[in-house]
Amino acid sequence: MFNRIEVKPAYRVVCETIEAQIVAGSLRPGDLLPTETQLADSFGLTRHTVREGLRQLEESGLVGRAAGRRLAVKVPDHAELAPRATQILRMQGVTFRELWEASMLLEPESARGAAGQITAQHLIALEANLAAMEAALNAGRSIIALDVEFHALLAAIAANKALMLAREPVSQLFFPALKQLFDHPRTRDTGPRRLIEAHRRIVDALRVRDSVTAEQWMRRHMQDFRRGYDVCGLDTDQPLPASFV
């Protein structure tokens, strides 16, 4: 009968009210919010209180500074969400196995989907990535960042928004976790070569829109990672060390 009453601070109400207006559609992406003073007047609050609400709204990604100083409604981007998701996974002590199992699902599907959508434009980007990797390898620089980029490229080509959202945080953790591999004597020399080889094969398959082969090579590629982890004697059930930031 009498449900739990919770008093929300005014700034929270401000945030929720504006958010509600946005999802309801009365404020559309691109629209400028009223000025802080106007909002304060409307709500019958001080500018300070309104500002605290706006700070939360800002962090939620629903508003941002489009052109000038004024806050504008925008469509939040999944690129903003990914780092936060990554952070959650790390702080919750996600294990290599969990990441690997997720990647084992998401990446092959990403490759498969890319085969159906790929354009000449995309191929150029992929080739550029491969070339950059070769160069980095020869120069003795790390290829991890380029690896992450490669997989992100594939996902972007596949153009499934749900998949991209799901994939990104996992990839942000999984691939950097492989840094250990490339530093390890057992895999330092062969690892990067095998990686580039797999990427090469995937691109070749995509060029001829061969989704089956692309998917197969991606799966092999993922299994390679897993095997490398084992070969190096690393425990797949341990939480990832915090150093992967």
Partner DNA sequence: AATGTTGTATTGTTCAACAAACGCTCCTGC
Partner DNA sequence: GCAGGAGCGTTTGTTGAACAATACAACATT
Site string for DNA, 2-41 (x = CB under 7 A): -----x-xxx---------------------x-xxx----
CA dist 243 and 168 (Å) reads 19
By beta-carbon proximity to DNA, the closer residue of 36 and 210 is 36
**Contacted entry of its own copies, DNA, none for residue 167, CB cut-off 5 to 8 Å set by kind:** its own copies
**Contacted entry of its own copies, DNA, none for residue 36, CB cut-off 5 to 8 Å set by kind:** DNA
φ and ψ of 5, to 5 deg:
-95, 125
By beta-carbon proximity to DNA, the closer residue of 48 and 209 is 48
By beta-carbon proximity to its own copies, the closer residue of 161 and 227 is 161
CB of 45 to DNA, least distance (A): 4
The one among 28, 48, 141, 193 contacting DNA by CB under 7 A: 48
3-state secondary structure of 73: strand
Site string for its own copies, 139-178 (x = CB under 8 A): ---------------------xxxx-xxx-xx--x-----
CA dist 193 and 118 (Å) reads 25
- Pair 222, 170: CB distance under 8 Å: no
